[in-house]
Chains A and B, each alone.
Chain A
Amino acid sequence: MAGSQATGTLWVLLAGLVVMFVAPLVVETYTLTLLVIYAMLALSLGLIWGFGGILCFGQTAFFGLGAYTYAIMAINIGESTVPALLGILVPALFAAALGAMMFYGRLSDVYLGVVTLVVTLIFFKFMNSTAGPEYQIGAARLGGFNGIPGFQTLNVPGDPRAYIYDRSLYYVCFLALLIVYVLVRLLLASPFGRIAVAIRENERRVELMGYDARLQKALLFTVGGAIAGLAGTLYASWAEIVTPGMFSLGQSAEIIIWCIVGGLGTLVGPMLGAVLLGYLKFRLGQQSAIDNSLILGLILVVVVLALPRGVLPSLMALWERRRRRLSMRAPRRRGRRPEASDV
């Protein structure tokens, strides 16, 4: 089992590397970079929801927090290495605090959803109201509805004038995504990951076996927050502006749609969902005949009704069934061949 997972990861990595070099030939890198960042955001929710069973309605809280942290610190420091690290660390710490509060309070499904949603809304409302000059952190003004523009974007560590932008930013983001993917795979293969999945399946049983489900869930939630924070940091560097819109409900909804369409319980599914739907949204944004959210909403409804497990797992199940049927038919054609179970 562990062996097949390792080969699976390797295949995904190889495919990812191929895509990384082929994709810029088809789509411009500016759009691609955003899609890669979306994929990382989807990965963060795909991890905590698909493997930990924690449905977080406010993954954008960490995404936005990462971006804001990066922007504020970049203005104050003027070099991107420390801000980028803080852009991961601050959301992670915040996720740890929020997770500890929720999971040690034994909140579950709907209530968890409400709290995460509300926290995101608080950020959204607060950031929108920070237009005045009194809202200032160091040299950075929070800027309210207009957000924070004009901060130092990512640069080669140690050299503030060697900006990483355009094509090189794309490669940095894609490599970061692949690294995060491998790290998450390793995490899931570790005892910690196995326990997280076990908690998703049956929390009480895991607790009776002596594990502290509250701690495990809070830690997993923290990892998800860190990944979303990294995505936010990269996003800030890509967009060169951060706005309160990053905390909006619409953005939260989109992440959930990517995960559910792509398929829960896989890591590749949410990433593919993010890339495909993100690209669809981009294309839909270029025409005005049909409204964007009408299509996205319709997709979400149809997938929940028809493919509740998501597209990728459904395809995999279909393929598995087909293969089994073929391998069952095969011996009949060739006459007597030992059954698989005999070997």
Chain B
Amino acid sequence: MDFATVVILDILYSIAVLVLISAGLAVVFGMMRVINLAHGEFMMLGGYATIVSVNAGINIWVAMLVVAPLVVGLVGLAVERLVIRFLYGRLVDTMLATWGLSLFFIGAASMIFGNTTTGISTPVAGFALGAYQINGYNLFIILVATALLVAVYAVLRGTRLGLVARGTMQRPDMASALGYSADRVYMTTFFAGSALAGLAGGVLAPLVGLVPTWGTAYIAKAFITVISGGASVIVGLLSGSVLFGLVSQAFTILFTPVVGEVALLVAAVILLRLLPEGITGRFFRGRL
């Protein structure tokens, strides 16, 4: 019984991590059809923002949940103004330019922070469940991921901002005819996507030793989850995360973590071969 709970928690945790690391990418890709390959580096910057502000004496919760998203959101804003906005509608060029940005940020971070590992400790204590020790921070990550999904859904579905954003993505010309600046909507959306990446980086930072190349470990997974999920922001993100979280965790428990990672990748290749439009291209069509 305890073992079953532990396994379920593990699976939920790995799904939650996928949701967290892919959310920013899903917003930017789902809404704007832009693939941001610097997403992993945005997370890395969020991690550094958290660690630097914690070391400067700011409360760790504030650092993770407020400072990191804000800092990375502003970086994203600058990136959008300077690079991305010239490349809308050119999918491959945006991928290449953001890949360049990713290298740029890695280089910049190595020059500023050095190649050494930095870290902070997790603010949540673990607790025992029967014979097993549960990491309390994992529960917190599951909580954040859930809140994040609900929040993105609520904003897109329930607020005027979300309505305008969705409308602009569908028909930019019509939106501008109604007086909404498409340019500004794109800018805001990219800001939101970057902030989500920063949040992910901030929340995951206490779990790892942070190095400038940390983001590259996540970009491929996030990229795969989003593309396999397909164009719908919420449903695509959730279905991709659930599928890959299940596969990788199941194989991790049965074999080793490496087999789990490889199984995730193999599953992605098979899935894309069968459903070239992603999961939401076939099922849940037209949902949010």
Contact = CB atoms under 8 A, between A and B. Distances in A.
Interface in B63-94: 83, 86-87, 91-93
Nearest to A291: B107
Contact of B101 (A110, A256, A297): A297
Given A121-B220, A301-B104, A256 B99 contact: yes
A292 B107 contact: yes
Contact of B96 (A121, A126, A260, A293): A260
Nearest to B108: A294
Interface stretch (B126-134, B150-158, B162-170, B266-274): B266-274
Interface of A is mostly: helix
Contact of A114 (B102, B216, B261, B272): B272
Interface stretch (A80-88, A99-107, A160-168, A182-190): A99-107
B288 interface: no
A160 B205 CA distance: 53
B221 to A, nearest CB: 9
B262 A125 contact: yes
Interface in B96-152: 96-97, 99-108, 110-111
B224 A290 contact: no
A192 interface: no
A100 B35 CA distance: 26
A111 B103 contact: no
A197 interface: no
Given A118-B268, A121-B265, A126-B262, A297 B93 contact: no
Nearest to B112: A291
Contacts of B91: 109-110
Contacts of A108: 276
A327 interface: no
Interface in B244-283: 256, 258, 261-262, 265-266, 268-269, 272-273, 276
A230 B87 CA distance: 36
Interface in A115-168: 115, 117-119, 121-122, 125-126, 128-129
B48 interface: no
Contacts of B92: 55, 109
A158 B157 CA distance: 72
Contacts of B256: 129
Interface size band for B = 35 or more
A178 B216 CA distance: 36
B107 A115 contact: no
Given A292-B107, A304-B93, A111 B276 contact: yes
Contact of B273 (A107, A122, A257): A107
A39 interface: no
A249 B261 CA distance: 16
B95 interface: yes
A292 B110 CA distance: 10
A257 B86 CA distance: 19
Contacts of A250: 103, 216
Contacts of B83: 301, 305
A113 interface: yes
B223 interface: yes
Interface residues of A, number: 43
B227 interface: yes
A253 interface: yes
A4 B200 CA distance: 56
Given A296-B103, A298-B100, A101 B273 contact: yes
Nearest to B96: A304
Interface string A253-289: 1001100100000000000000000000000000000
A119 B265 CA distance: 8
Contacts of B87: 304-305
Nearest to A298: B104
A55 B266 CA distance: 20
A127 to B, nearest CB: 11
A305 B107 contact: no
B60 to A, nearest CB: 29
A24 interface: no
B256 to A, nearest CB: 8
Contact of B103 (A105, A128, A294): A294
Among all A-B residue pairs, the 6 with the closest Cβ atoms: A294-B107, A300-B100, A297-B103, A297-B104, A291-B107, A301-B100
Given A117-B220, A301-B83, 6 more contacts: A111-B227, A121-B220, A256-B96, A294-B108, A295-B107, A296-B107
Interface of B: 35, 83, 86-87, 91-93, 95-97, 99-108, 110-111, 216, 220, 223-224, 227, 256, 258, 261-262, 265-266, 268-269, 272-273, 276
